[in-house]
Amino acid sequence: MIFTSKKYQFNQSLPGINITTIKKGLLFIALLFSSTGIFAQLRIGVGARADQARDNGVSYERPQEYTISKITVSGIRFLDPNTLISVSGLSVNDKILIPGERISTAIRRLMEQGIIEDVAINITKIDGDKVELDLNLRERPRLNKFTFKGLRKGEIETVTEKVKGNKGKVITDALIKNIQLTIKKIYVDKGFLNTNVQIKQVIDTIRANNAALIINVDKKKKVKIDDIQLIGVEELPDWKVLAKLKSTKIKAPLRIFTPSKFIPKKFEEDKEKLVEYYNKKGYRDAQVTSDSTFSTDGNNLKIILNINEGQKFYYRNITWTGNYLRKTEDLQRILAIEKGDVYNPEELNKRINGIPQGDVSSAYMDDGYLFFSCTPVEVAVEGDSIDIEMRIIEGKQATINRIILNGNTKTSDHVVMRELLTRPGQKFSKTELIESQQILARMNYFDPQKIEPKPIPQADGTVDIEYNVEEKPSDNIELSGGWGGLQGFVGTFGVIFNNFSAKNITNLSKWRPLPAGDGQKLALRLQASGRFYQTYSVSFTEPWLGGKKPNSFTVSIFHTSSDNRAYQRALERQYGNNPALLAMYGATSSMYNGYFKNTGASVTYGKRLNWPDRNFSFNASLSYQRYNVDNSYFIPGFQKGIANDLSLITSISRYYLDNPQFTRSGSQFTLTATFNPPYSVLRGTPAADKFKWIEGHKWMFDGDWYTPLVGKFVLHAKANLGFLGKYSGSSEYSPFGRFILGGAGLGMQNAMNVGADLIGLRGYEEGVVHELSMDEAERLRKGEITLSRLGGLAYSKYTAEIRYPVSLNPQATIFLQVFAEAGNSWGSYKDINPFKLRRTAGVGARIFMPAFGLLGLDFGQGFDPIPGIPNRGLKSFTFSIGQQIR
């Protein structure tokens, strides 16, 4: 504290000094030296000139009372003066003693805020008993930037993202400590337990009252686990117990997917999961009594777990109380737990509340009893047996009052509402609520992971149901182009608008880039390879024809042209003076001196069925195609002429998948039957032009099953079968619509355009998997046909895949898979051998991006080579885009 001739200054420049401590010290000195007058001399002499203090009328020895007439604040740039005056506790018109406790308290309160580095309270004017005070403050500097040492560029970006929110804040000890802990936690969570973070503050010489932090991070080495010692484990094998520590693993040379590293947070989670595992096995009282970690070599550690397994318990008697609407025997049958079963609280709760359409709660909630509850209570524990009493509160039936929809920023409300099974006025149903959630996921307009249905009970006994969704991109685009030498320009343009709105075509304000939101589907595709190959297709689907029932209507048209004469003319222009090159490129072969054209249209009607359950649907399509062929190898058995294909295509399917991008559980199957009119039967005699009007029938079955395995792994099994038939023994099998097996396949639409079904079989070249009939073998020997274009009258294919998700982000869903496949096609029914299949296995990856659909890359190894063709028909890499391999 300093006296001067112009002002009386109380100065505290050391924030670490405790005011209370100083006061106690001064009191002690006063008591010690009061009799000698030394204390008065000390007070006056602390860095002060007593004569100047007396000139201003202020004396340590005789404090005087003044009234504050004015308070000003100086020395600050960013803080609010009025707020600081308020914090100090001083106010205009206050009466205070100078010197006095109020001044010390004001200094302390300002310093306690942590944002002030220095405080001085100055008397600027004394007029009688009036005094004017000035709070002269120096702010702590604000954080301007970070400088990191000891980290790589990518790490700096990660750490900066975590701490950048502190920029602009006042630098305090607490702020620095918080930044240290944040950075250390980042690396502790990665296994660097010994990370050291040092922070140094540097004043910014350019910006006033700003400073930078130099952060030195020493990660040190990652801490790994040398050994885990289990004490007290007797009932279960050690390896099973260690397997339940999912994120806490002993280091091993071949450990790849879960590398050894010690993360305290994960270790605590693993201990909880271990106890849960014991509980599932009936060890109701199991617990981890203690754990210890010991450093082994400075970088690694050893863990000791003390486990008390306890006794294994079993169910004895299960009784029910409070159930008036449902019989005890019915509830017991649904619960499906018998006397003598191993006691498992998790499974018990699951059978009460966790299995849609198969738990106790569904028996009530599907009939509107939303407020139902069932509490299992242990009423007796004797020896290794437990008696359970199921205490039920049935409640009242709840009727749905309102449906609330949030988050559909693009899709119209009516498009979502018409799909929901929960509707106002109906009784609440738990099963229908869950199935409505699955329906929203199958629409493919919303992120399946973020669809959240929420029942909201009302005071009048009704319930509102709120559906929270998040839109995701659902349209696909395919765009590529280039220059193909002899072919000239090669390009593809395709778009699929899965949420189109036809009624808003004339409303330009709705074009973003096309009108959307009504759930219709518009698909356009153009592909050209110079004059050699061109294909165009367009289709439109209305999923709710008439707007009242889920009956779909689709119209599509397409045209394909492949002209090998243009290819031959280009070769002649390029190599006209070199017959050897012309022969090498096939220009002299009649096989490459023709064309193939296909034009068609179809209309399809689809209907959802309620029987056997609401997951079934029926489709009927009337299709017409016109083939114009001249000396073409595309359709073996039909080298020249015009063929007409009028067909009725019917299919029945069942679709029940939990997620269309990465399915964990469910199944889907489709049975398709295609019929041409029986012209030969109606005529009674074979026609002179037997393929002018194609006849016959075709049957196909496609089935997929998904089931979860251990952890995130999913098993996907599927079967694909098909065969062609004819109406009479005198007619021939149609050369169109046959099955071509091998490679990735080209998808159904492209298959229709070339008059065949192309079936993928990874590990082999496109279309080479085929068992030749005697006639086909002879024609192949003469060079009239190629193996890659032979189509079978029948085929079968079986696949097993184990999938593992890498990312379930809707912007890029990625999963890996290992697969095994087997399949074959046959050119004659008498040669069919269902056990003679071409086998293959490999690994692959799938990436689903909304803009491009499904991208697939597979590496397969065929185990049954096909002799007599280049590379024995094997093909390691298979690439697919926009489709599943069928």
Long-range Cβ contact pairs of 100-106 (< 8 A, separation 24 or more): 100/63, 103/10, 104/10, 104/19, 104/23, 106/135
In this prediction, residues 392-396 reach a mean pLDDT of 94
Bond into 356 cis (ω within 30): no
Indicate if the pLDDT at residue 142 is higher than 90. Answer: no
Which strand (E) or helix (H) includes residue 602? strand 595-608
Is 142-218 CATH 3.10.20.310? Answer: yes
What's the mean pLDDT when you consider all of the chain? Answer: 83
Distances (CA, A) of 282 to 270, 341, 385, 555: 19, 9, 10, 60
Indicate if the pLDDT at residue 850 is higher than 70. Answer: no
pLDDT at 289: 95
Q: For residue 799, count other CB atoms closer than 10 A to its CB.
A: 21
Is 400-468 CATH 3.10.20.310? Answer: yes
Confidence band, pLDDT 50/70/90 cuts, at residue 270: very high
Strands 314-321 and 116-127, sheet pairing: unpaired
Looking at the DSSP assignment, which residues form a beta bridge with residue 725? 697
Given a contact cutoff of 8 angstroms between Cβ atoms, the answer to whether 466 and 404 are in contact is yes
pLDDT in tens, 345-355: 999 999 998 87
Q: Where are the alpha helices (DSSP H) in 463-616?
A: 564-575, 579-584
Confidence band, pLDDT 50/70/90 cuts, at residue 292: very high
pLDDT at 885: 40
DSSP state of 130: E
pLDDT in tens, 494-530: 888 999 999 999 888 888 778 999 999 999 988 887 6
pLDDT at 268: 93
Among 793, 735, 764, smallest CA distance to 864 is for: 764
532's tokens: 């050699």
pLDDT at 46: 29
In this prediction, residues 600-624 reach a mean pLDDT of 94
Q: Which numeric CATH code is attached to 314-393?
A: 3.10.20.310
Among 162, 145, 115, smallest CA distance to 212 is for: 145
Indicate if the pLDDT at residue 389 is higher than 80. Answer: yes
Superfamily of domain 2-139: membrane protein fhac (3.10.20.310)
Beta-carbon contacts of residue 242 (< 8 Å; ≥ 6 apart): 228, 230, 250
Given a contact cutoff of 8 angstroms between Cβ atoms, the answer to whether 418 and 439 are in contact is no
Which strand (E) or helix (H) includes residue 154? helix 153-163
Indicate if the pLDDT at residue 471 is higher than 70. Answer: yes
pLDDT in tens, 13-59: 333 334 444 344 444 444 333 333 322 222 222 223 333 334 455 66
pLDDT at 32: 38
In this prediction, residues 562-576 reach a mean pLDDT of 69
| CA separation for the pair 65, 82 (Å, rounded) | 24
Indicate if the pLDDT at residue 154 is higher than 90. Answer: no
Candidate ranges 199-213, 485-499, 674-688; pick with highest mean pLDDT:
199-213
Indicate if the pLDDT at residue 750 is higher than 70. Answer: no
Identify residue 59 by its one-letter amino acid code: S
Where is average pLDDT lowest: 63-72, 244-253, 255-264, 832-841?
255-264
189's tokens: 């969570």
Q: Which numeric CATH code is attached to 633-881?
A: 2.40.160.50
Whole-number CA gyration radius for the chain:
41
Specify the residue for token string 């994120």: 247
Classified as helix, coil or strand, 531 is coil
Beta-carbon contacts of residue 270 (< 8 Å; ≥ 6 apart): 244, 245, 246, 247, 248
Given a contact cutoff of 8 angstroms between Cβ atoms, the answer to whether 761 and 797 are in contact is yes
Among 42, 37, 119, 46, smallest CA distance to 76 is for: 119
Indicate if the pLDDT at residue 278 is higher than 90. Answer: yes
pLDDT at 605: 97
Indicate if the pLDDT at residue 101 is higher than 90. Answer: no
More confident residue, 781 or 361: 361
Indicate if the pLDDT at residue 279 is higher than 60. Answer: yes
Among 100, 82, 104, smallest CA distance to 92 is for: 82
CATH of 225-308, one of 3.90.1210.10, 3.10.180.10, 3.10.20.310, 3.90.1170.50: 3.10.20.310
Beta-carbon contacts of residue 761 (< 8 Å; ≥ 6 apart): 741, 742, 743, 769, 797, 821, 823, 838, 840
| CA separation for the pair 647, 624 (Å, rounded) | 7
Confidence band, pLDDT 50/70/90 cuts, at residue 233: very high
Indicate if the pLDDT at residue 854 is higher than 80. Answer: no
pTM for this entry: 0.68
pLDDT at 51: 38
pLDDT in tens, 818-829: 999 999 999 889
> CATH 3.10.20.310: which residues of the chain?
2-139, 142-218, 225-308, 314-393, 400-468
More confident residue, 174 or 723: 723
In this prediction, residues 175-181 reach a mean pLDDT of 91
pLDDT at 587: 52
In this prediction, residues 182-201 reach a mean pLDDT of 90
Confidence band, pLDDT 50/70/90 cuts, at residue 867: confident
Indicate if the pLDDT at residue 450 is higher than 50. Answer: yes
| CA separation for the pair 821, 800 (Å, rounded) | 7
> CATH 2.40.160.50: which residues of the chain?
633-881
pLDDT at 593: 67
Please report, rounded to a whole number, the percentage of residues in the chain having pLDDT higher than 90: 45
pLDDT at 113: 82
Among 696, 699, 874, smallest CA distance to 796 is for: 699
| CA separation for the pair 185, 178 (Å, rounded) | 11
Confidence band, pLDDT 50/70/90 cuts, at residue 666: very high
Please report, rounded to a whole number, the percentage of residues in the chain having pLDDT higher than 70: 83
pLDDT at 858: 92
**Four-point Cα dihedral 597, 601, 602, 603, nearest 10:** 170
